Amino acid sequence: MPTTSRRRRGSSALLAAAAFAAVTACSSAPAPSALEQQDGGSTGGAADATTGAAAAPGASAAAPLPGATGVQVAPGVTVVTRPDGTVVTTTTKNGKTVTSVSRPGAGSGGSTGGAAVPPARSRLFTPAEDKIGITSNSITLCAHAALTYGAAFNTSADDLNVFWSAVNDAGGVFGRKVSVTYENDDYKPTTAVTAARACKAKGIFMLLGGIGFDQIPAVRNWAEDNHMLYMHHTATVKGTAGQKYSFAPLPTVERTGEAFGQLYLSKYRGKKIGIIKRDGENWEPGVVAFKQYVGGAGKVVAETKVPQNKGNYTDDVLAMKNNGAEVVWIWDNALDATPIVKQIRAQNYNPNMMLFPFNLTSQTLDEDAFKPALDGVAMFTAYTKGDYTGPFASYADDMKLFEQQYAKYRPNVDLAGVGGDLLFLNWTAQKSLYAQLLDCGKDCTRNRFVDVLETYKKRPTSSVCQLDFTGGTHRQGGDQLVFMETYRDKNGKASWRNTKMCVGRS
């Protein structure tokens, strides 16, 4: 995989990783809707910036380097970054093409007039810390993730950086090539801190945190003590008071539990509820939020707590069945939820079930994923290879581009298999982070990136929900989740499709 660093083999899976480190939203700068979009996948028919098309009258024309690959950042808007940092933007609208040029030293707003660049508002990082991991030609990132479980998802660390390979081949981010490596956190808090230390030793601009309700709080505390800019996946609100260095683009554990309550009320109001939940202090706040939201509209008739990797859930299943639970909420990760569902079906017990929706679970269960169909709540949108209709239509452009890039850089990856949706959510996270780096501009530093985050209220690409960091502490940006259900996909597999997109608080 050219132009992008690789680290040890492992999973994108419980990575979700590169941290949704990313974001979601709709910017004053054009949102990156496609990279290297080919015929048949275009969202706007933008002129290829490599053609050097004549600019409209009054525009500043400049053709990119021969053979350069354009980055389509919005329908009709293509960007090429030259090796010297010059950014050539070509905009096509109503048959007219305008090309503008932003040169190094011209300021981060894209002006070619040489205006002075205003100082960053944030003072979070000292001058000595502000430019760590970012140079005139590179941005260095590192993620801690549960690479331990790579084999379960048929993915490896080499499969994770496809998006950045495409960006780098198109000139990088304002001439900076992006390097992302991964450290295994073994899905454990102490190991996650060790992984964070290993990442820091590489001189990184930012630490990214993969999926892990238990790992992230420990790393957040470490990030505060070590002045590390940290973008992470879903975690509790609890423990964040006064923290400054960590940012979460996705909904919290508490908000996710509440969203499961919203799903329950929208489909099963009044039905008896059973809860099989992970035994852990970082999981329990989601259960509390669920119960508070459901209130008297649903009665919890059974509730059991299980350790990670329990394996045999017979007692838990019988507790649900014997107490007449009509809806069972499985509040556990994908690897443990799969055998729980299997063992529920084995008891000739067919309640409605709510859980985290991963293709690993549905495809492993196959027929057991139906009768009735499973319900899911996710921080990401569903993915089925080659299905651009119905609930996928609104972000078909991202799906097509994702598939085109994997066909080019990792052609042997099975996107229709159990890891395809995880690779897609990782890709959308990276695409969102790319949008933020564009907003940070040519003069980006850590403090300037914090400025971007603290004022971020945008949707950078079609496959993600809006992010809003503008309220509260400016450290928590997401409250919208996606409702899903299982279906038999066009490839003949049991997969997930969206039923409600970007559900906020109500």
Break the chain into its structural domains and give their ranges. 13-24+127-250+389-440+449-475, 49-102, 254-378+485-503
Look-up: residue for tokens 């900076």?
176
12, 153 contact by CB (below 8 A):
yes
Q: Which residues contact 429 (CB under 8 A, 6 or more apart)?
A: 16, 17, 18, 19, 20, 21, 22
Tokens of 112: 């070619």
Q: What percent of the chain has pLDDT over 90?
A: 70
DSSP β-bridge partners for residue 71: 79
In sequence order, which residues have a C-beta less than 8 Å from that of residue 346 and are 6 or more positions away? Answer: none
pLDDT exceeds cutoff 70 at 286 = yes
Per-residue confidence (pLDDT) for residue 147, from 0 to 100: 76
| Residue 505 pLDDT exceeds 60 | yes
13-24+127-250+389-440+449-475 against 254-378+485-503: fold identical: yes
CATH T-level topology, domain 254-378+485-503: Rossmann fold (3.40.50)
Query: Nearest-CA neighbor of 229 among 124, 120, 356, 332?
Result: 124
Q: What is the rounded CA–CA span in Å between residue 13 and residue 212?
A: 11
Q: Return the closest-CA partner of residue 267 out of 31, 483, 494.
A: 483
**pLDDT tens profile 36-53:** 443 333 333 333 333 233
Q: What one-character DSSP code corresponds to residue 372?
A: T
DSSP bridge pairs for 90: 78, 99
The pLDDT-based confidence of 90 (bands split at 50, 70, 90) is confident
Q: Kindly list the distances between the CA atom of residue 202 and the CA atoms of 61, 134, 139, 167, 181, in Å, as whole numbers in the listed order.
A: 40, 12, 12, 21, 9
CB-based burial of residue 370 (10 Å sphere; 0-12 exposed, 13-18 middle, 19+ buried)? middle
| Identity of the amino acid at 86 | T
- Of residues 325 and 103, more confidence is placed in 325
> Is the pLDDT assigned to residue 422 strictly greater than 70?
yes
Give the pLDDT band (50/70/90) at residue 504.
very high
pLDDT number for residue 34? 45
Single pTM value for the model: 0.82
Q: Which residue has the tokens 């119960």?
A: 291
Would you say domain 13-24+127-250+389-440+449-475 falls under CATH 3.30.70.260?
Answer: no
Q: Supply the mean pLDDT for the chain.
A: 83
Say which residues have a Cβ less than 8 Å from residue 316's Cβ, sequence separation at least 6.
Answer: 276, 304, 306, 340
388, exposed or middle or buried, with CB in 10 Å at 0-12, 13-18, 19+? middle
**150, pLDDT greater than 80:** no
Residue 373 pLDDT more than 60? yes
Q: Which of 14-18, 111-115, 147-151 shows the highest mean pLDDT?
A: 147-151
Written as six digits, the tokens of 337 are 């939820």
Q: What is the pLDDT of residues 163-214, one digit of tens each?
A: 999 999 999 999 999 999 999 998 899 999 999 999 999 999 999 998 889 9
Q: Is 218 exposed, middle or buried (0-12, 13-18, 19+ CB in 10 A)?
A: buried
pLDDT over 70 (residue 141):
yes
Residue 348 Ramachandran class (φ > 0 left, ψ -120 to 50 alpha, else beta): left
User: Do you know the residue count of the chain?
Assistant: 506
Residue 152 clears pLDDT 90, i.e. is over it: no
Residue 414 bridge partners (DSSP): none
| Residue 82: predicted pLDDT | 56
Residue 201's region, left for phi above 0, alpha for psi from -120 to 50, else beta, is: alpha
Higher pLDDT, 203 or 71: 203
